[in-house]
A and B are shown apart, each in its own frame.
Chain A
Amino acid sequence: DTAVSQTPKYLVTQMGNDKSIKCEQNLGHDTMYWYKQDSKKFLKIMFSYNNKELIINETVPNRFSPKSPDKAHLNLHINSLELGDSAVYFCASSQQTSSGQFFGPGTRLTVL
């Protein structure tokens, strides 16, 4: 059984388009996250979402908007895609800080 799943795995799109990435976890965790991994493999937190409380990383452009329909899902919507948005996006979940986070397989976004 997949603990944290993301769809799609690959996403290729044109500049200016709007796209969404979906994430689901079946671990019963309360907190979910989105991370961005750039071409140099550097991982940076974008958002965390805990019990309807959204914590936004201030460096994330407002073109990025997370949406959580319920505790098991945290989707990422991106408006007006730019070349610099090309990266691998990882979803993760956790129950508490000490238990660590469980990551999805990633979505490789390529903006042409």
Chain B
Amino acid sequence: AQSVTQPDIHITVSEGASLELRCNYSYGATPYLFWYVQSPGQGLQLLLKYFSGDTLVQGIKGFEAEFKRSQSSFNLRKPSVHWSDAAEYFCAVPMNYGGSQGNLIFGKGTKLSVKP
């Protein structure tokens, strides 16, 4: 069965430092992969997605992620974190590959705190 693992529950970084949030997936084929961000009290916003082609994908707010098939990973990165990046980050894969109903399976999320 498809699954998503985010190994880090909570990460704290200093403002201006680089960031990497880990995501590992279990999937029967090359998956679609998504990263979402949830700011406190807000809904989820799509940061970026991968479904084919270049394995390094660029997203909004200066984020990027790299798909590594050999490691079953899709880690999210940002070279310099801003205080406004403090939020909960979710990695997700569709439940049914190729299906029209792309119900998402989410990881348990990584909470990012940013120190001044």
Contacts and interface: CB of A to CB of B under 8 A. Distances in A.
Interface in A17-69: 30-31, 33, 35, 40-45, 48, 50, 53, 55, 57
B43 A106 contact: yes
A48 B44 contact: no
B108 A45 contact: no
A45 B43 contact: no
Contacts of A104: 43
A94 B101 CA distance: 9
B14 interface: no
B25 interface: no
Contacts of B106: 42-44
Contacts of A105: 42-43
Interface string B73-116: 00000000000000010100011001111111110110100000
B67 interface: no
Contact of B101 (A4, A35, A50, A106): A50
Contacts of A96: 100, 102
Given A90-B43, A98-B51, A48 B109 contact: no
B2 to A, nearest CB: 12
26 contacts: A30-B100, A31-B100, A31-B101, A33-B103, A35-B104, A40-B108, A41-B108, A42-B106, A43-B104, A45-B95, A45-B104, A45-B105, A48-B101, A55-B101, A55-B103, A97-B32, A97-B99, A97-B100, A98-B32, A98-B49, A99-B49, A100-B49, A101-B102, A102-B46, A103-B45, A105-B42
A-B pairs, 8 with minimum CB distance: A97-B102, A103-B44, A43-B106, A45-B103, A105-B43, A98-B51, A103-B43, A48-B101
